[in-house]
Amino acid sequence: MRKLKLSLVTTMAISSICIANANTLQEALTNGKVSGEVAVTYEGRYFDKDYGDYYRDSGYGVGSFALGYETGVWNNLSVKSKFRAYGTIWEDSSSKATGTGKGDATGRFYEKRGGGDGFAYNGGTKSVDIEELYVKYTPLNNISVIAGRQVLKTDWMSKTHDAVKIDATFGSTDIEAIWSLRDGRVYARDYRPLEKMNGNKGVYKLGLTQNFNDNISATAYGVIFPDSKEIYGARVNLSYEETSARLHYAWSDEGKSLDSANVKDVKSGILDLMISTSIYGLSPYIGYVKVNDDLAFPGYTTNNKSREAGEILVPFEEGDYIFSRGASTIYAGITKTFGDFDATLLYGNTRYYADATGNEKRDVDETTLWLGYKITSELKTNLGFTYVNEDKKSPISDYSQLNLTMVYSF
């Protein structure tokens, strides 16, 4: 296992200092909670015709075991840790490459990740990684600070991060400030070793939300990759009884003003609209996403100095083309809950430019059915089936994907 660095080192150092003071922390440690998970996940992908290492027939089963511990609160401080171990149960092919390793399982459970500094899933032998390890400090009721490995879910920053996150509320104004060095995924169904996003400079985010009343709020934010790229956005959230709507626009800049090596300004924008409601026990929703015709958003393929830090916009299981140049996506879904059983059906179409400069447009349709069932209070299962209808001119054929995950929590 490689050495943990920066924010994780800080987290471990702080937690070690706290635990060493046993007399002071005895009650907090005694009131701590141990939790765990045993999970098994299966995925099968079936293509009309294989294309490359990733877009090909594959199948695998992977099991994982997670163990966590969270202390009680002492002097407004608490510590949470969670580790997850993975092991391959079965692979349709254990020798074929996926682009992120060898063996079908490495298509989701990465064996390697382009120059990343994290350790990797090891194709059937043991592999353990940190899912969560952070210190939480709440100096006041309206301010919280979380430092260490944590899950983020915010505009253009999501999944597992080594980060520092500050949340504060002053009256009707919410403030969110984040600095993150690495991101990846450490889940029962997905593992990508954490990797630096922008060298040692990391990524910064500042967001402000003004809550005008119970029905209207507005958010403005900036996500800065120093010396690499910037993303700015504004969003209005509306709600009335069972209906809510989102109006969101963001723009990115990777131009010569940020990187002298660029020969021209590199800018793009994206419009995101969504409305949902609840009627007769059903929860339908519809959305529209449009990327500028000049460049993909947020320039994922234009800047080798940095990469994306995540997103929370894509509603699909796959959604490979939503951020492509000129892409326009419309989607509609509906969710229904029957006691311990829930079902969601989603359909969407994306029309996009086939390459970075040409005028050829292509279409892709994606349909997904998600089913979830709470067998007991401890045992839950989720099933997903996706069918992707690729454009006839695309080198990628039509394909389907089936996944099943069972998690026992204790």
Closest to 341 in 3D by CA, of 293, 292, 284, 383: 383
Number of Cβ within 10 Å of residue 271's Cβ equals 15
Residue 86 sits in the same domain as residue 207: yes
Whether residue 290 is found in the same domain as residue 351: no
Let me know whether 335 and 233 are in one domain.
Answer: no
On whether the CB atoms of residues 45 and 396 are closer than 8 A, the answer is no
Please check whether residues 359 and 259 belong to one and the same domain: no
Domain co-membership, 299 together with 380: no
Do β-strands 361-374 and 379-389 pair in parallel, antiparallel, or remain unpaired? antiparallel
> Could you tell me the residue range of the domain that residue 71 belongs to?
6-316
Q: What is the pTM of this model?
A: 0.88
Is 1 part of any domain?
Answer: no
The amino acid occupying position 121 is Y
Domain boundary among 267, 292, 316: 316
Cβ contacts of 410 within 8 Å, gap of 6 or more: 35, 36, 37, 378
Residue 75 belongs to some domain of the structure = yes
> For each of the chain's 410 residues, which pLDDT tens digit applies?
333 343 443 444 444 444 434 446 788 888 899 999 999 999 999 999 999 998 999 999 999 999 999 999 999 999 999 999 999 999 999 999 888 888 999 999 988 544 443 334 444 334 899 999 999 999 999 999 999 999 999 999 999 999 999 999 999 999 999 999 999 999 999 999 898 988 899 999 999 999 999 999 999 999 999 988 899 999 999 999 999 999 999 999 876 555 555 555 678 999 999 999 999 999 999 999 999 998 888 755 445 556 678 889 999 999 999 999 999 999 999 999 999 999 999 999 999 999 888 899 999 999 999 999 999 999 999 999 999 999 999 999 999 999 999 999 99
In this structure, the answer to whether residues 97 and 234 fall within a common structural domain is yes
